Amino acid sequence: MQNTNPFVSIVVTTYNRKELLKETVDSILSQSHENFELIIVDNYSNYNFLELIESFNDKRINAYQNTNNGIIAINRNFGIKKAKGEYIAFCDDDDIWYPNKLEVQLSFFNDTEIIGVGSVYDILSSESSKVIRTKKIKDKVLDFKQIIMDNSGVALSSLVIKNKLLLFDEGSEFFAIEDYAFQVMICFESKSKILRLGKPLLKYRLHGNNNSSLQQVVAGKIIIEKYKEYLQISDLKLSLQVYYYQIGKKYRALGKMGDAKRFFSKAASLGFTSFIYMIKIQVAYFMCMFKL
């Protein structure tokens, strides 16, 4: 029988974002599900971090400082190792949870095939807490193959997982894709799935770094290579097609139409894997031709 009031460990990693961190922590402390510990791991910020934490005056907060050497996975793992909860939730230090986030997500863990529950999100302006875009889609269950083929998972700040002491990969080659790699790994290792809810449960702050976004997509091939022996040929081809298509889209957003066309062509060269993607690739290539 599922525990109706489970204890949740919430891991927040932070560095030099005092004002944004205050908003994040306030949103977590205001959760309708109150049975949690909040583990905040600071990479030795340039302000008095411990004084800030004391100002919240909430015994559910456990604050630590640890050097991560530029690899955020180190401090996420630090937090996981401190976690005492039946479930672990993650939140970045610039995102904001809606008050019922945990309550809604925890209700879905009665399905034994589900190891994690995430959601879509409302997008915040980088300069303010104003929502500039919102999106609702259908709920979707993702296994490790689907996450690879989509070249993405759910936003880490939306994710709640069963605590199985699974850790992020701290290798430098996973920089910028550690969240994605973690989700593929937990689904693969547990032979379970992540449920992505189509209703936004948080506000995600958009910083608009297209080059960084391109780097994340490009690095995604590491995951395809790591798990390719567990994919059927058709799944592997579709994964690569999606991968090339997404790189092309990023180059088009940067105005680099020649590079965009090159990657759309590479995607098309893999042949017919998905009717939807073949149409997307053709439309995208057409838009590059006419610089749309």
144-163 pLDDT, tens digit per residue, is 999 998 888 999 999 999 99
Instruction: Give me the pLDDT at residue 147, please.
Output: 94
Cβ(35)–Cβ(7) under 8 Å?
yes
pLDDT at residue 183 greater than cutoff 90: yes
> pLDDT for 58-86, tens place per residue?
999 999 999 999 999 999 999 999 999 99
pLDDT at residue 98 greater than cutoff 70: yes
255-259: long-range pairs with CB below 8 Å, 24+:
257/288, 257/291
Pick among 3.30.1490.20, 3.10.620.30, 3.90.550.10, 3.40.50.300: CATH of 8-207: 3.90.550.10
The CA distance from 60 to 14, in Å, is 17
Confidence category of residue 232, pLDDT binned at 50, 70, 90: very high
The CA distance from 112 to 230, in Å, is 23
Burial annotation 111-133 (CB, 10 A radius, 16+ → b, else e): eeebbbbbbbbbbbeeeeeeeee
pLDDT at residue 209 greater than cutoff 60: no
The tokens describing 118, both together, are: 């995430």
Instruction: Give me the pLDDT at residue 1, please.
Output: 58
Percent over 70 (pLDDT), the chain:
96
* Domain assignments of the chain as residue spans, ordered by start: 8-207, 232-289
3-state secondary structure at position 77: helix
Q: For residue 145, give the amino acid letter.
A: K
